[in-house]
Structure 1
Amino acid sequence: MKNKWFNLTNASGFLRSAYFQSMVIRISNALLAFGVAVLMARLLGPDEYGKYAIILSLATILGIPFKAGLPRTMTRDIAIARTSSDPGRVRAIIRFGAIVFLLLIPLVILVAVCIWIVGYEVAGVALGVVFAGVLAPIFAANSNRMAVMRGLGSAIRSQIPDMLIQPLGTAIIVVALITVLGTASAEVGLIAYAASTILGVLVGVLMVRSDIKQIPDIAPANNFKRSGFLGSVATMSLLGAATSITGNIDMLLLNHFGAYSDAGYYKVALSGLAVVVLGGNAVSAVAFTRLAESIPSGDLNKIAAQSDKALIWSSLFTGGVTVLVLILGRPVINLFFGEEYSDAWPILLVLSIGFTVAFLFGQGPDLASLSGAQVPAAFCILIGIVVTIGFAIGMQDSLGVMAIALGSMIGTITRFVLTSFVVRFSIKIDISIFGFIYRLLKNRTREG
């Protein structure tokens, strides 16, 4: 008889669908995050809000090993061990993952200090890069906990601390800090964000402890190779680095051009983009767990079915919200953020169109990392980054901030298209809309 923690229940019905439940959490998070963005933007103003966004982006990039390589490796390896009924190996992965996280902290801070020593200035703050380096592990502290819960099959519950508790905490803490200190600045906003993240971590630890207690504390059935684990963290970090840089290069470009108020407009646009892509992100959160269980089986039909389901959900939601952005984007931004942020609307529209088209090419980065093709996928994403930077720098004089938005749109589409080809070669499945249509027509032909 299988242990209780190994039993998987497949939800039936629309309302019980893991994708639907994940999307509900993501929608709630989007509303909360949007409210926090409105609060921060109005309290800080375009210039300070732009500085806040730039330092936050740098902290995200410095936290790549925490938020990319390590958690993805843990989710994959725990899922494999769980489906192989090896609880001892699961516990070994969890323990070693925690040790790796702690060892990475001084390394990341050292890198930040070295960057500061060579004279790199961030958002006009002399110690900005050091500040970002200290914040990086704090912002990433929830990633290990989420990785463990996803690997154990709790993809929905794993999102609650980050998606619900953290934004609520940020809103409350930033108002309290500004009230007590009597000043609003980028640094105050970042401290509030860090404090709320720590609050989410504490709640998440309590949640994951209940899951871990159900895992028998026995010796692994198969030896746990730490060298293989670390090698996977390194290669997964390469893929994660490319993805993280893609998501934050826009802000670093604005830092390079010294356009802090433009960075404030761009940050407002990114807050709107979070609503546009939340469907795709919600799907990815669940799909990664499902695919981590399906890919080791080698069942191409099962893998394709999971990929197609993710494609449908993400494309329909993203496309629908992009239409709303086209119609209602400017008045909504003016209403919530104020007319001083109205320049954020065209940026948001361009970025939304980019992701709508990109999601038609499937969950490429997730499938690549799970199928062992993370290195070629990372290079594809790096190509997208080069496209973004090249276009932005080449057109910045004539288009201004829109050059960065258009470059980001083109780069995003490029990386999704290329990673879909990588997946097609690695697991012999076309995960794009074209592959979905082909499979759909093929099944209908068989039924006919």
Structure 2
Amino acid sequence: MEQSPAILNKFLGTAGLQVASKALSVVAGVILARYLGPEQYGLYTYVLSIIAILTIPVIAGLPQLLIREIAQAELAHEWHELKGLLRWSTAFIIITSAIVMLTTMVILQLGFITSQTASLLWFALFLIPIKSFSSKQGAILNGFRKPILGLFPEFILMPLLAILIYLYFIVSKTVFTSLLLIKVQIVTSALTLLLGMGLIFKERAKNLEQVNPIYRLRKWHIALLPFTLMVFISTMNAQLAHVFLGYFDEKESVAAFKVALQGVTLVTLGFAAVNNIIGPRVARLYKSGDIPSTQALLTKSVKLSACFSIPIAIVLIFFGDWFIGLLFGEQYLASYPILIILCIGQIINICFGSVSLVLNMTGNEKRSLKALCITLCINIFLLFILVPSYKAIGAALSVSVSLVLWNVWMSADVYSITKLKTWLC
């Protein structure tokens, strides 16, 4: 097992990178919220939520599958299969992105989507293959135990480039519009993708150069299906609130919810950093039968993420209105009660630990899928009931309640199957 100082150092490095990323993301969000205004900011968020859902069939569960399979193949020195896996994943993204984009173009051409949203989607569609390949590259680097390199292009370079472009627009007195910012997203995502390609070429295992690929297509497709469904459900859980608000309420409500999520992402920094580090290690340790070391790793990880994240959540619960007014402006103070509800849900989420990751990395992704399906149904039901009457507050309650129920279900499954305790104790 990797020594605690090494895990702590990598946690601090990964968490530090994500802190910098979220700081950049918040700066970008503040600029957009102030210069777009609630209506245009809500429209921009609404379109990107649709793109996130459309990207699901393309990237599917590839990142999770790649992290697990690369970790296990490297442990077993199965270089032929690893090379085949990398080539197959590239072909999968190209084919599925083409199908999704063409299908969406037909829908737009037939006029099923309102003209204002449709005009943005015509451009935003190009984000689907670009973001899918970026996610794949990050997963490959993570699988090769390079989590910091895997995070750098998307989490640091892309928001930094976006901020520099926004500052240029401000200095040059360029009018901010949703369409202009969609185009900025495409440019920054493409540049991020190019950097990721360079990092992959530099860091990939040299053992792959001299071997012929072996394709385990049946094995990968069977393993990919539950991962795909899990990504579909988790993305739907994350994005449905925006879509429901965009449909049942004004776009300003979507903007208020988005501002609250900016704060919540700060709470999840430690948790995300821990998961990026321990995923490949959990797969290796559990496969080798070293249950005590796996448990020790999970215990340390949940304590690290809790110590990092819970204080941030408490500060936002008590002083979030001041931060929102200072950063985003008085017109977004409606985000504060939403922020409180989402922070409480995230505190509980963090205390339960890496429940989904453990099931996925130990080959029990079908159980994870079952829990996600049930919580998605609960979330949709609650959104239908609460959003028409309570708007963004109802959306926040729906998201938080379904998140808590998901954690309770998954932690029970983890313990019953693996006898591993993920929760803070």
Using the alignment, how far apart are the partners of 1:137 and 1:329 within structure 2?
Answer: 36
Deviation at 1:176, TM superposition (A): 4.2
User: 328, 332, 335: which one pairs with 2:326?
Assistant: 335
Using the alignment, how far apart are the partners of 2:8 and 2:302 within structure 1?
Answer: 19
User: 102, 110, 120: which one pairs with 2:94?
Assistant: 102
What one-letter code is carried by the residue in structure 2 that aligns with 1:142? Answer: S
The 5 Å alignment of 1:8-27 reads 10=2, 13=5, 17-27=9-19
Partner-residue secondary structure (3-state), 1:215: helix
List alignment gaps of at least 5 residues for structure 2: none
Whether 1:183 and 2:161 are equivalent positions in the alignment is: no
1:207 alignment counterpart? 199
Q: Which moved more, 1:291-300 or 1:329-338?
A: 291-300
1:6 alignment counterpart? none
2:144 alignment counterpart? 152
* 1:276–1:322 Cα contact (<8 Å) kept: yes
User: 353, 364, 367: which one pairs with 1:376?
Assistant: 367
* 1:333–1:341 Cα contact (<8 Å) kept: yes
Whether 1:42 and 2:17 are equivalent positions in the alignment is: no
Change in CA separation of 1:319 and 1:213 when aligned onto 2, cut-off 3 Å: closer
Q: Which moved more, 1:300-309 or 1:150-159?
A: 300-309
Whether 1:425 and 2:416 are equivalent positions in the alignment is: yes
Whether 1:164 and 2:171 are equivalent positions in the alignment is: no
Whether 1:349 and 2:337 are equivalent positions in the alignment is: no
Q: Which moved more, 1:27-36 or 1:280-289?
A: 280-289
Using the alignment, how far apart are the partners of 2:119 and 2:63 within structure 1?
Answer: 29
Using the alignment, how far apart are the partners of 2:223 and 2:172 within structure 1?
Answer: 46
Whether 1:255 and 2:246 are equivalent positions in the alignment is: yes
* 2:253–2:391 Cα contact (<8 Å) kept: no
What one-letter code is carried by the residue in structure 1 that aligns with 2:266? Answer: V
2:44 alignment counterpart? 52
* 2:59–2:93 Cα contact (<8 Å) kept: no
Using the alignment, how far apart are the partners of 2:204 and 2:170 within structure 1?
Answer: 39
* 2:88–2:215 Cα contact (<8 Å) kept: no
Deviation at 1:305, TM superposition (A): 1.8
1:445 alignment counterpart? none
* 1:173–1:196 Cα contact (<8 Å) kept: no
Using the alignment, how far apart are the partners of 1:407 and 1:302 within structure 2?
Answer: 37
* 1:68–1:240 Cα contact (<8 Å) kept: yes
2:404 alignment counterpart? 413
Identity across matched positions, percent: 22
* 2:41–2:255 Cα contact (<8 Å) kept: yes
Query: RMSD between aligned alpha carbons?
Result: 2.4
1:446 alignment counterpart? none
Deviation at 1:77, TM superposition (A): 0.9
Change in CA separation of 1:98 and 1:350 when aligned onto 2, cut-off 3 Å: same
Using the alignment, how far apart are the partners of 2:415 and 2:110 within structure 1?
Answer: 43
List alignment gaps of at least 5 residues for structure 1: 1-8, 438-448
Using the alignment, how far apart are the partners of 1:123 and 1:295 within structure 2?
Answer: 52
Using the alignment, how far apart are the partners of 1:12 and 1:123 within structure 2?
Answer: 55
What one-letter code is carried by the residue in structure 2 that aligns with 1:234? Answer: L
The 5 Å alignment of 1:22-421 reads 22-113=14-105, 115-116=107-108, 120-121=112-113, 124-176=116-168, 182-212=174-204, 214-219=206-211, 224-421=215-412
What's the TM-score, normalizing by structure 2? 0.92
Paired residues in the alignment total 425
Using the alignment, how far apart are the partners of 1:351 and 1:189 within structure 2?
Answer: 27
What one-letter code is carried by the residue in structure 1 that aligns with 2:83? Answer: R
* 2:161–2:188 Cα contact (<8 Å) kept: yes
* 1:43–1:184 Cα contact (<8 Å) kept: yes
Using the alignment, how far apart are the partners of 2:327 and 2:214 within structure 1?
Answer: 55
What one-letter code is carried by the residue in structure 1 that aligns with 2:352? Answer: F
Of structures 1 and 2, the one with the larger relative CO (CA 8 A, separation 6+) is 2
Deviation at 1:273, TM superposition (A): 1.0
